[in-house]
Every structure is written in structure tokens, then in C-alpha cells.
Structure 1
Amino acid sequence: MVASSYPMHSSRANWSQLVSCSSPREVILGSNLEHQMYCHLLCGLRNSDSIDGIRAPYAISLINVFSLLESKWEQLCDDLEHGVPSSEIFDVVMKDSVTEVFGGPQPELSRRIRVICEDNNWGGIVCKLWPNVRYIRCVTTGSMKQYYPRLKHYAGEVPLLGGDYFALECCVGINLDIMQPPETTRFVLLPTAAYFEFLPFALDEINVVEETVDISGVEEGKMYEVVVTT
């Protein structure tokens, strides 16, 4: 199960949040991550003119998708041309749902994408394949910061917006200024979203065990790991 789709497996999942997604429910709930990414790409390419935003929880997800595009673009074009996903997609339900999104063979679209990808210039590829995209949004702070330059390369002129910080359990922090680059991004903790504890740590200390503190015990300038209880 892919982490970003975990809440959708709940009986209380709010599917109205996903009405604007280009991929069908069967893809979002898929169990194979690589096949999910591949099918997300297929659906995104099929609806390339109607997509106005690209979102993911974290930057690494989009880096993986664009890397897959670089390595599999010929196969993706073949699938669009024939109107059916590759035989490598063994999940029948997922495959059938993508075939329905295709709405039959798409030879003209396939040719247009081939011309773009054959150039082998992946800088600004987002603008080239999805001309109406207005933004890309994901978390690019912390460990995700290392992927920011490469994501900017793919994005070209498309703005990169910062995402809110989510864990599987809850929303941890809200990004109050999504236009800021990673180095100046600040999150506001939602203390009512769950019970948060904070475990002090320092990069230069090894195997030092300290007790957690609640939000009232957090000190400015110190680093903490967040412990979430729901």
C-alpha cells in the first residue's frame, strides 16, 4: 500500500477530494508503487491539456515519476497509440480503469509526445507535456531539499509551491507561505490534530537518550523529532 493513498483505504475516506484527479480510484488504490506511477503518467499524458496542477506529498515522489518518464517514454507512447496499458501492468482492475480513461487509441497524442521526448531535453518538460499546468506542489524541505534543484529543472518556468507536512496519522504542519523556497519555509504545528511529543536530539550526539516533552516544553533553537499519538 502506498503511503500517500493510505487514508483512501478507510471506510470514512472522502472521495470528493479526488474529483479533480486525472487518475481513477483503481490507480490511486493500487498496491504496486511502480505500476501506480506508470499508470498515473499514462492518465496524466492522456489528459495533458486539462491538467492545471501537479501535486504530491513529497518531492521524491515527483522525482521518481519524472525519472520513470525519462526511461519509459517510448513504452508510454506505444500504450497511448494502441489505447491499452503495457502488459507489464498485471493488476487487471487498474489496467482496465486506465484503458477506460484512454477512450480508445490516441495516435495523434502519442506522436506529439514522441516528438517532445525524442529531443531528450528534460529541462522544462512539464511545460512541454502539460502546457496548462500552473504550479507543482509538494514538500521540498528537510530531507526533500536535496531534490529541489532537479525538480526545478523538470519544472522549468512552472512555479514550485511548498506543500503542507503530513504523516500517515494526521497533518503535522501547515505551510503558511507556499511561495517560499525550502531554506526559508516555515510550518505551523497543528496542536489539536493529534497528541504531539518532542524528542530532543543533536546531530553531534550519538546514542543520547532523552525524555520527550510536550509542546509547552519545547525550547527555541533546539532540534526535536516529533512523536505523534492519535
Structure 2
Amino acid sequence: MINLTEEDAGLAVLEKLTSNVKQIQDAVLKEILTCDANTEYLRSFLHGSSDKELFKKNVPVGTYEDFKPYIERVVNGESSEIISGKPITGFTLTSGTSGGKQKLIPLNNKYLENARLLFDLRYLVLSKHVDGHNEGKGLHLIFLKPASKTLSGLPASYATTHFMKSDYYVKNLPSYWDTSSTSPSEIKFCPDNKQSLYCHLLCGLVLRDEVTRVCANFASILVQGITFLENFWKEMCSNIRSGQLSDWITDSCKDSVSMILGGPNPQLSDIIEDICNQKSWKGIIPQLWPKIKFIECIVTGQMAQHVPLLEFYVNDLPLVSPNYASSEAMFGVNLNPLCKPQDVSYTFLPNMSYFEFIPIGEVNDTIVDLVNVNLGRYYELVVTNYAGLHRYRVGDILQVTGFYNSAPQFKFIRRQNVVLSVYLEATTEEDLLKGVTRASQVLKSSYIMLRDFTCYPHVSDIPGHYVLYWELKGNKDDGINELDTNMLVECCSVVEKSLGALYKRYRSKEGSIGALEIRVVQQGAFDVLMEYFISQGASLAQYKTPRCIKSSEAIQVLENRVFARFSSEKLP
């Protein structure tokens, strides 16, 4: 474990890890195979051997569906030795918004150790790039939900909850986490999302002169928090003025929040009111928290579409996208945390799991090791972890952008399984995000921003066409008075121009795809969509707006709030 009082020693660990990638990867695989070779899953392929070449020759690359029968048996009470030589201590729940269904991913204490190491390295990297980055307090929008119990008695929860509630976390609590948050722990464990978010923000406002960073897991959560603040700042100012918390806050966190609120503070209330009463909320974050140094959240992948809106709120503050991790494994850390969001790459840490890569779009699709990836190439990530997932397709597409020592650096491109198709074309998340980002630039002249979007393939009519749901936001407090039809029609065309060659062919020459449509929804519609997914088991802390909706119930949530429709009038 890194001693964080010795920064140089900690950074030396990073140098060692990134300079010995092949040796460490070989040792990781040997350790995993030695431990797991006699599990029911691997025994049929390896017959007890822990040989690397036999592993690569005999063990198939698999998806969650291949492992699901074994995982369900452990969930139902059978021994974890079915798939893992190390005891499985619980299961992480995926958000269920990327691919449409929640998954149960087995984990053990090695996952917690790796998570702690990744956080330590993240801390050290920030300390190298941001002077006094750990001074003051952080406004952390963290939401931890109670774990459920499987039939085997093992807990099932979201990764952040599992980590922060584990004995491992409690016993190894880093000194820099001790008093670093504006929010008491009771708020983080509040089961009511509205009360929790209100109290997070209220405490952050009361302690505004101590806040040096605002943090959340994902950019979407920060956008959600700012939107919530727009709706509730007057009530929060009233609480600060009177020193009394609103009556509707009934959770057990009420007492600890009241202590932070203290007595009446009309002077602070006046300051916050003056800031929030401005016609535009451009640069609102550094105005509310004048000592803030950076914003910390994931801004890569599908989070990239939130960047323009965040940049509007934060002005020139750095948007730090610190690390790359999933429910299956920890992967890497961003060694250049102050770079622009579009330039973020993650340096893979070879001790986290064993990593392999399937080349994308190449004639030779032979799977390669971490040390054999090529600069500029695209790959699908495959992981063998310490909890029984062997040659598991994570579903992420990455591009090699460089190397730090001998450790490859990857840019997150998209999820493999998020595509739109109404005919024979296949539109990737990357193409979709590119098109929407370009179209959102058209809105700027009218002082309108895109708050959120999703889409679905409308195939009940012939020809089928793409439907995009857009929630728009005026960047002045008088909102959007009226929509410019020509502007929104042009947005439809701009999105179409960014889509792939097959889409354009079937849309233009053959007429097999109809005109792309944008349906504008009422403000707050995507909040209701989020509430729907949370009601189905998603976690606010891990929620990501799905870029392509597969659920008819979710589509109806948005369809009920559509107030304007626009279609492309040009062939791409």
C-alpha cells in the first residue's frame, strides 16, 4: 500500500508498474490460472494446467451470457469454486443503462485492493499537477444505496457502495479522505435521492469558502446536480437565512445537516441569492465556490456530450477525468489530468487484471496482449480478472494513443453494443455522439444548449427512421421563448451528415431509411427518465442516460413529454 506521506515513493510505484508491463502481466495471469485452474469453468479447458499458451489456445473469449449460468449458481448458494479459486465476497450490480439489462458481477477482496490502489495513484497524480489539490473540502455528489442479499447470503450492490461499506475500506481509510467532504456520511447513505441531493448541495453552499473541488462519478450527475440547484436554490437560501432545514427533509441525515447549517446566516444567504439571481448561469460554479480548483468526473465516452454544458457552468476550470474502471476490473489512470476532455487517455496498470485486445476492422483479428497493441489502432477490451471472469468481453472499444514507459495509453471510444439500425446499416455510439455534438453547435446562435438526448430506431413505419429525443435549455433565466423551425431542421441534417456511409447510401439512393427526426421534450423530461430507470433498479451514482433506448416503457416516458417535432429536409 502506498504511503501517501511519501509522494515520491508513491510515484516510484507508478514508474515501476509502467516500466515492467510484460513481466507483471505474465505474473498476473500465472497467479490467476494457478488459483483458478481447478474451478469447474476452467477445468474443462485447461485440465488443471496453468500454462499461458494453453490458456490462450483453449479458453474461449466470452460474454456475460457465457458466464451467467455459473454466476447464478453461486448467487443461489453453490460454492464460489465453480468459477473462482478465491472466495467470492459479493456481487457488483452494473447500471443496466448501457446494454439494457443489469448484470451481477462477482468480486472479492482483490477488487477492493485494486480500487484502493487506483484511488491512491489518482491522488498522487493530481498532487503532481494541481498545487494544493487536497486543501479545503470537496463537494462530492455520492449516493450509496443499501446492499441486497442474494440467496447465498452474499451482498449485491453497486461498486461504489460495496467499496465504501466494506470492512476493507473502513479499516484502510486513507487519511486524505477523513474530513475531505462537505457532506456528512449520513447524506451519502440517504435512501431518498431528492433529499440526498438537496442536502449535498445545501452543505456545499454553507461551506462554500472551504470548497476546492466538485466531484461526481460521471458528468451526467454533475449536470443533474446543477439543474437541481437551479430549481431549489431559493429554498436553500431560505434555509441558510433562517438556520432551519426544510420540513420535507425527514431522513436520519437531518440532524447532521442541521449542525452544518448552524444558526441563521442572512449574510451568506444574500451572497448566494445575488449570484443565483443573475440572468445567465454561465460560470456559476466558480462564482458559488470561489476557491475551486477543478471539477472531477468522468467526461469520456457517452459522458462527452455533457462537456459543452459543463464548460458553460464552470468557465475555464479543468474538467478532470481521473480514471477508467468498471464493475469487472480497474483498468487505468489519467496521467495528464488537466488535459482537455477530448484528449483524455488512460494509462493501463498491468497489475490490475490480465488484459487482451481484439483488433477492430482488421483482416487479422488475432487477439493480442497488452504489450503488443499498436499505436493508433482500435481494439475491443478483453479481461481476465481475479474473481472468475476469464477472457471476458467488457464491451468497450478503445484506441491506443501512446505509451507511458512500456504501458499503453488508451482513449475510450464507445461501447461495442450500443448501435442504431433500422435497415442494414449499423450506427455506432461514436458516430451518433459526433453528429449530435456538431448539431448542438447550430444551437449556439440562439443561446440554446442541449441538456441531454437519447434515441431509438423507429421501425413501426416503413421506411424506418432514427428518432432523437432532445431536451433543450436556454442559457438565460428567461428560458426558451420559441423554437426556430429552420434551426432544428438544420440540426437534423447535420446529424445525418455525420453518420456512416451505409446510412447515407440507404437514406439517399435507395430510400430504405426515412428522414431523421428530432423530438423536443419538456424540460425535466430526462429527470423523469432517470427516475424511471432508478425505479427499475439503477443507481443515481452510476446512472448514465442510455444513448439508445430499448425499453418501450422508457420510450413512453419521453413520448409523453414531446412538444415539438422536426425532420431532416435534405438528403445527406
Fold-level similarity (TM above 0.5): yes
Task: Name the TM tier (shorter chain).
Answer: 0.7 to 0.9
Relative distance call for 1:121 and 1:189 in structure 2 (3 A) is same
Relative distance call for 1:224 and 1:118 in structure 2 (3 A) is same
Query: Which residue matches 1:139?
Result: 298
Query: Which residue matches 1:74?
Result: 234
Residue correspondence of structure 1 range 10-29 to structure 2 within 5 A? 10-13=166-169, 14=173, 16=175, 17-29=177-189
Question: Alpha carbon RMSD of aligned pairs, Å?
Answer: 2.7
Relative distance call for 1:168 and 1:37 in structure 2 (3 A) is farther
TM-score, normalised to structure 2's length? 0.36
- Distance, in Å, in 1 between the alignment partners of 2:163 and 2:346 is 22
- Distance, in Å, in 1 between the alignment partners of 2:329 and 2:241 is 41
Q: Is the 2:206–2:240 Cα contact (8 Å) retained in structure 1?
A: yes
- Distance, in Å, in 2 between the alignment partners of 1:136 and 1:197 is 32
Give the C-alpha shift of residue 108 in structure 1. 1.6
2:276 aligned partner, one-letter code: C
Query: Which residue matches 1:30?
Result: 190
- Distance, in Å, in 2 between the alignment partners of 1:86 and 1:137 is 29
1:149 aligns with 2:308: yes
Residue correspondence of structure 1 range 68-147 to structure 2 within 5 A? 68-92=228-252, 94-147=253-306
- Distance, in Å, in 2 between the alignment partners of 1:96 and 1:57 is 26
Equivalent of residue 319 in structure 2, options 160, 166, 176: 160
2:250 aligned partner, one-letter code: F
**62-71 or 82-91: bigger deviation:** 82-91
Give the C-alpha shift of residue 219 in structure 1. 6.5
TM-score, normalised to structure 1's length? 0.83
Equivalent of residue 60 in structure 1, options 220, 223, 238: 220
Give the C-alpha shift of residue 47 in structure 1. 0.5
Q: Is the 2:329–2:385 Cα contact (8 Å) retained in structure 1?
A: no
- Distance, in Å, in 2 between the alignment partners of 1:11 and 1:84 is 35
Relative distance call for 1:19 and 1:226 in structure 2 (3 A) is farther
Relative distance call for 1:169 and 1:111 in structure 2 (3 A) is farther
1:156 aligned partner, one-letter code: N
> 1:119 aligns to what SS in structure 2?
coil
2:203 aligned partner, one-letter code: C
Give the C-alpha shift of residue 185 in structure 1. 1.3
Give the C-alpha shift of residue 24 in structure 1. 0.9
- Distance, in Å, in 2 between the alignment partners of 1:162 and 1:106 is 35
Relative distance call for 1:120 and 1:87 in structure 2 (3 A) is farther
1:132 aligned partner, one-letter code: K
> 1:108 aligns to what SS in structure 2?
helix
- Distance, in Å, in 2 between the alignment partners of 1:39 and 1:226 is 40
Give the C-alpha shift of residue 88 in structure 1. 2.7
- Distance, in Å, in 2 between the alignment partners of 1:168 and 1:157 is 32
Deviations 1:2-43 (A, max 9, x none): 554442111222263242111111112323333222211011
Give the C-alpha shift of residue 123 in structure 1. 0.6
Equivalent of residue 45 in structure 1, options 205, 208, 218: 205
Equivalent of residue 189 in structure 1, options 329, 344, 348: 348
- Distance, in Å, in 2 between the alignment partners of 1:164 and 1:90 is 35
Give the C-alpha shift of residue 129 in structure 1. 0.7
Q: Which runs of 5+ in 1 are unaligned?
A: 203-209
Deviations 1:86-120 (A, max 9, x none): 2332312x111111111222222112111211224
- Distance, in Å, in 2 between the alignment partners of 1:45 and 1:193 is 38
Which structure features the higher share of strand residues? 2
Give the C-alpha shift of residue 147 in structure 1. 0.5
Give the C-alpha shift of residue 175 in structure 1. 0.3
Q: Is the 1:22–1:47 Cα contact (8 Å) retained in structure 2?
A: yes
- Distance, in Å, in 1 between the alignment partners of 2:383 and 2:371 is 14
Give the C-alpha shift of residue 196 in structure 1. 4.5
Give the C-alpha shift of residue 66 in structure 1. 0.7
Query: Which residue matches 1:206?
Result: none
Deviations 1:199-223 (A, max 9, x none): 7777xxxxxxx99876467666233
- Distance, in Å, in 2 between the alignment partners of 1:6 and 1:105 is 38
Q: Which runs of 5+ in 2 are unaligned?
A: 1-143, 146-157, 387-572
Whose RCO is larger (CA < 8 A, sep 6+)? 1
- Distance, in Å, in 2 between the alignment partners of 1:197 and 1:18 is 37
Q: Is the 1:195–1:228 Cα contact (8 Å) retained in structure 2?
A: yes
> 2:276 aligns to what SS in structure 1?
helix
Q: Percent identity?
A: 34
- Distance, in Å, in 2 between the alignment partners of 1:226 and 1:101 is 46
Q: Is the 1:135–1:158 Cα contact (8 Å) retained in structure 2?
A: yes
1:166 aligned partner, one-letter code: A
Q: Is the 1:196–1:214 Cα contact (8 Å) retained in structure 2?
A: yes
**45-54 or 32-41: bigger deviation:** 32-41
**185-194 or 168-177: bigger deviation:** 168-177
Q: Is the 2:216–2:296 Cα contact (8 Å) retained in structure 1?
A: yes
Relative distance call for 1:228 and 1:130 in structure 2 (3 A) is farther
What is the number of residues matched between the two proteins? 222
2:303 aligned partner, one-letter code: M
Query: Which residue matches 1:222?
Result: 378
1:177 aligned partner, one-letter code: N
Q: Is the 1:55–1:137 Cα contact (8 Å) retained in structure 2?
A: yes
